[in-house]
Structure 1
Amino acid sequence: MRPLPSRYLVILILLTPASASAIAPIPITARGLEVDLAIFSLFLTPEEEITIAVNTEQSMRVEAPGMSIQQVRQQTGQLLQVRAPAAPGIYPMHLSSESGAAASQINIIVLTPFANLRDGMLNGYRVGEYPQPRQGKATYYAQPTGFIEVTEANMATQLTPHFTLAQFLCKQEAGFPKYLVLRENLLVLLEDVLQHVNSQGFSVATFGFISGYRTPWYNRKIGNVTYSRHIYGDAADIYIDQDLNGRMDDLNLDGAYDGKDMELFFALVEQLRDNSPGSVLPSGIGRYKPNRRHGGFIHVDTRGYPARW
C-alpha cells in the first residue's frame, strides 16, 4: 500500500473506533455493484425488473409494500426478482435475517421517464436539452432513462447511510418538485471515499457538496462544458466541512484554510484509487484550488474511462 506523503502523516489523528452496531448490514449485488451498506438505493424506470442477489446463507424476510417480489433460494443465498411499481416515487424494501442479527433497507426509486421531458421542461422544472451522445463514446454519454422527483417531503431521504437526496440537487433556483439524475455507482464511490478518509484518522460524517447533479440548462448557464459528467448523474464536487462553514476544513492543522488542505484530500482519494483495485473507484478525479467563492474541492466521477486533472 502506497503511504501518504510524509508531510501529511504528522497531522493524522488516531480515533477510537466506535462500538460496532449489533445489527449488521446484509450484503447484496445489484447491477454489478457489490454493496454492504445498511441503506442503499436503486433507480428504476416504471415497471422495470431487476435481479438483486442477497449474499448470505441466512434465512431472510423481505418486506416490500407496493412491489412485486419473487424470492429464489440458492445454496449460497437467494435472488430477489423485483418489479418496480408503475408510479414514480420512493418505495422502501426491508431485508432482515430470521435471527434479527442483520438488516438492510433498499430504496427502490422509480423514475419519471425521460420521455416526459418536453421542450426542456419537466412538470414546470427547467431541465434543458440533453446533447446527443458524444461521438466515439456514446456508451458513456447516453441520455438518462429518467429523473428522480424531489419534493419537500422526500428530499431528506437517506440514499445511503451518509448521503441524502437533497445533497445531489442542482443549485438552480426553482420551486418543488425538482428533478435530478443519479447513478448507483456514484453512491458506492462516495461511501468508499468517505470510509477511506475516516480510516486515515479523520472524523467525517458526510461531505459538503459544491455540485452534484446539474441540469443541462444550469450547466450551460454557469459556462461549463457541454458533456460535463454532472448532467449524467455520476459526478460530485466535494469537500470536507465538519465545522459546517461552507468551506474546506483545515485538514493539515496548520491554522490556514488554503490549497494545502485540498491537496491533502486529493492525496487521500488518489491513495484509495491506487490501492483498492476491487472497489468502485473514480474514473475521473480532479482538484480545484480555493478562490473567493469556495475553499477548494475535489471532483470525482464514474465516467467509465480514466481522467485526471
Structure 2
Amino acid sequence: MKRPGRVFGILLFAVGAGWASTATAQTPPDAPGFAVHIDDRLIDHSVGSTFVRQGRAVRVAASDLPSDARMRLDSAGLASHRLDDQDWRIQAPETPGVYPITLHNQASGQTRRLNLFVMQPFDPSQRAINGYRIGHYQPQPLHNLEVYEPPQALMPVAQADTDARLSPHFTIGQFLCHQQPGHWPKYLRLRSTLVAKLEAIVAALNRRGIAAQTLTVMSGYRTPQYNAAIGNTTTYSRHLFGGAADIYVDTNGDGRMDDLNGDGTVDVADARWLARLIDSLGEAKPRFVGGLSAYSANSAHGPFVHTDVRGVAARW
C-alpha cells in the first residue's frame, strides 16, 4: 500500500552530482520508488531544479511511498524543518548560489537529488552587476503581461557551477549569455517552463528514433545590452526574460543541425521538421504554447529553431 503524497508550489529540478553537461552525456536513469513535489509542482524527471530568491521558503515532499519507507533529507548549508515523515520546509539562505538537496528512502536505498538555485535581488534600473553588463530593461511590461516584467532577481553563475543540472538533459551553463567570456560570475534569468519544454522536445525526438541527449542552445538568456549589441531591436525579446531558446539537434557532434528529415541535406527543411515537432507539443501541453520559427543557415551558423513560452502562439 502506498501513501498519498502532498502537493505544494514552485518548480524544482533534481541535480545528480557529477553528471556531465555535454551532448555526449548519458541520460541519468529515472529514480523509481517515490515521487517528489516542490510546493505544488511534481518533479516528473529523475533530475530537476528550482530558482528561488534569498530568504524565501520552499516545501519539499515525497509521495507515492511504500508503507515501509523511512525518509531522510540532506541539505547541507540550508536550514530545513521537518513537518512530518515525508515533508520538509527549506529556507533559502541569504548567500546566492547552488545548493544541493538529496532525499533518501533509507529502507530501499533510493535517492532523489535536487538543486536549489538561490538568486540575488536585481534592481532593473541597474546597468551592470559586479562589472557584468546588463543594459536597460523597459520599465513597463509589454501589454502589462507578467512574462514581460523586468526581473527582480538574477541568478549569479560561477564558472564552477556551469555543469549544475537543471533537468536530465540540460545544465545551467547552456543558457548563459554569450558576452564577456572571461567574466565570472555571469548572471542569468531562466524560466522553468522553458526547461520543461526543451525536455519534452528531447523526449519527442527520442520517440522518433533520434537519440538526442540534449539540444544545442545557440542562444538562451540575453542581457538587454547583448541583445542590442547583436543588432536585435526588439526590446521585449523573450530571450531577455529567460523564456526563449534558439536550438538545433546535433547528435553527431559536428556543430550543426542533423539531417532530421533524412533527405541527405542539412538545410532549413530540417529546421522546419523540428519546428513541426515542437508545434505538436503545445496541443497536448498548453503551458508550452509560445513563439516558434525556423531559420535558414547563413555564414555565421547553420539552420536552427527559435522556441519560447510566452503563453500565446506566435509564428513568423
- Normalised to the residue count of structure 1, the TM-score between the two structures is 0.84
* Cross-structure match for 2:163: 156
- Note the residue ranges of structure 1 that are not aligned, 5 or more in a row: 1-17
Going from structure 1 to structure 2, the CA distance change for 1:233 and 1:269 (only over 3 Å counts) comes to: same
* Cross-structure match for 2:103: 95
* Cross-structure match for 1:257: 266
Alpha-carbon displacement from aligned partner over 1:54-110 (angstroms, at most 9, x marks no partner): 332343221101112233348xxx443221011011100011223336422111111
Give the deviation of 1:118 after TM superposition. 6.6
* Cross-structure match for 2:299: 292
- Greater shift, 187-196 or 56-65, is seen at 56-65
Distance 1:20 1:46 in 2: 30
- Normalised to the residue count of structure 2, the TM-score between the two structures is 0.82
Q: Does residue 168 of structure 1 match 2:179? A: no
Q: Work out whether residues 127 and 136 of structure 2, in 8 Å CA contact, stay in contact via their aligned partners in 1.
A: yes
Distance 1:25 1:235 in 2: 34
Q: Work out whether residues 133 and 225 of structure 2, in 8 Å CA contact, stay in contact via their aligned partners in 1.
A: yes
Q: Work out whether residues 169 and 214 of structure 1, in 8 Å CA contact, stay in contact via their aligned partners in 2.
A: yes
Q: Does residue 113 of structure 1 match 2:124? A: no
Aligned residue pairs: how many? 286
| Secondary structure in structure 2 of the residue aligned to 1:96 | strand
Give the deviation of 1:125 after TM superposition. 0.5
Distance 2:270 2:256 in 1: 11
Q: Work out whether residues 26 and 36 of structure 1, in 8 Å CA contact, stay in contact via their aligned partners in 2.
A: no
Q: Please point out which of 249, 259, 265 is paired with 1:240.
A: 249
Going from structure 1 to structure 2, the CA distance change for 1:37 and 1:178 (only over 3 Å counts) comes to: same
Give the deviation of 1:183 after TM superposition. 1.7
Give the deviation of 1:42 after TM superposition. 0.8
| Secondary structure in structure 2 of the residue aligned to 1:264 | helix
Q: Work out whether residues 45 and 113 of structure 1, in 8 Å CA contact, stay in contact via their aligned partners in 2.
A: yes
Q: Does residue 302 of structure 1 match 2:315? A: no
Q: Does residue 220 of structure 1 match 2:220? A: no
Q: Does residue 178 of structure 1 match 2:163? A: no
* Cross-structure match for 1:14: none
Going from structure 1 to structure 2, the CA distance change for 1:79 and 1:306 (only over 3 Å counts) comes to: farther
Q: Work out whether residues 33 and 185 of structure 1, in 8 Å CA contact, stay in contact via their aligned partners in 2.
A: no
Percent pairwise identity: 35
Going from structure 1 to structure 2, the CA distance change for 1:217 and 1:20 (only over 3 Å counts) comes to: closer
